[in-house]
Amino acid sequence: MSDNPMSAHKRPMKPYRARHFDWTCSDDGRVGTITLNRPDKKNPLTFESYAELRDLFRDLVYAQDVRSIVITGAGGNFCSGGDVFEIIEPLTRMRAPELLAFTRMTGDLVKAMRRAPQPVIAAIDGVCAGAGAMIALAADLRLATPAAKTAFLFTRVGLAGADMGACGLLPRVIGAGRANELLMTGRSMRADEGLAWGFFNALHDAGSLLDKAHELARELADGPWFAHTMTKTMVNQEWSMGLDEMIESEAQAQALCMMTGDFRRAFEAFAARRKPAFEGD
């Protein structure tokens, strides 16, 4: 057991048993994989899977093992959004307080993904629509196949494109004009468009997509873990800062990173002309 009292609130997440999707981890527990697994319906979400995903990402803040996350879908599709009969139809019969509780819950999933310290990589094939597109957008990195079709199709069901943070997040990734088009028309963004617009980091064939996502997740998990958490934190909080605040926040973040063992190990490895072995402290 560690002598550090601040480690007492940490716990391993590798043993977690998911109820509404698949959760697996690498042997060392550093890379976790979430697989949305309702392939017969193109992996739609339910009230229960929304809530469990939210809670899992909240708990990952306290993980002592998991350092990166891959989220993907089974059966050649990522996620078709909210299940039409298990979510959409019941919503048409709810009153305002229940509807607001639901929309807040879906937004809480995005907030939990952004607040989780682990880099999140979405591996996207086939349909990526509605809430599925928002989960992809909330990820830190996105890999896809040429067959990926991403649609923020809220207007197709008579709703605003302003859902789960879409009007704030999407313009920051692909620009306001392109975001307006996708959010207002609900049309699908082709994979080549997504790559050219910066939504996707890379395209891979379907047979290698998950392997590539895991390779990237492993690279990040074995890298300077504390520094990666600081990078994600800075990317999130600097959206609402002016230049002076940005520079001061990054000065503080970088000074903290310079106090880590990884910073010293990197220097020693460079001096010895060998590859650094990061330990995340």
pLDDT in 10s for each residue of the chain, 281 residues:
456 776 778 899 999 999 999 999 999 999 999 999 999 999 999 999 999 999 999 999 999 999 999 999 999 999 999 888 888 889 889 899 999 999 999 999 999 999 999 999 999 999 999 999 999 999 999 999 999 999 999 998 888 988 999 999 999 999 999 999 999 999 999 999 999 999 999 999 999 999 999 999 999 999 999 999 999 999 999 988 998 999 999 999 888 888 998 888 988 888 998 988 898 88
Q: Which tokens is 76 given?
A: 């050649």
Q: Furthest-apart CA pair in the chain: how many Å? A: 67
Per CATH, the number for 5-221 is 3.90.226.10
pLDDT for the residue 86? 85
pLDDT of residue 87: 86
Burial of 110 (0-12, 13-18, 19+ CB in 10 A): buried
DSSP β-bridge partners for residue 70 = 33, 121
Query: Which of 69, 38, 74, 211 has its CA nearest to residue 138?
Result: 69
Would you say 45 and 58 are in contact if contact means Cβ atoms under 8 Å apart? Answer: no
The crossing angle, in degrees rounded to 10, of helices 166-174 and 176-185 is 130
What is the reported pLDDT for 2? 54
Report pLDDT for 44.
Answer: 95
The pLDDT, as a whole number, for residue 83 is 84
Helical pair 96-115 and 47-59, crossing angle rounded to 10 deg: 40
Q: Are 127 and 81 in contact (CB under 8 A)?
A: no
Cα separation, 238 vs 169, in Å, equals: 13
Under a CB-based contact definition with an 8 Å cutoff, are residues 68 and 125 in contact?
Answer: no
Sign of CA dihedral 164, 45, 16, 200: negative
pLDDT of residue 82: 87
pLDDT of residue 266: 87
Number of H helices and number of E strands within the chain?
A: 11, 9
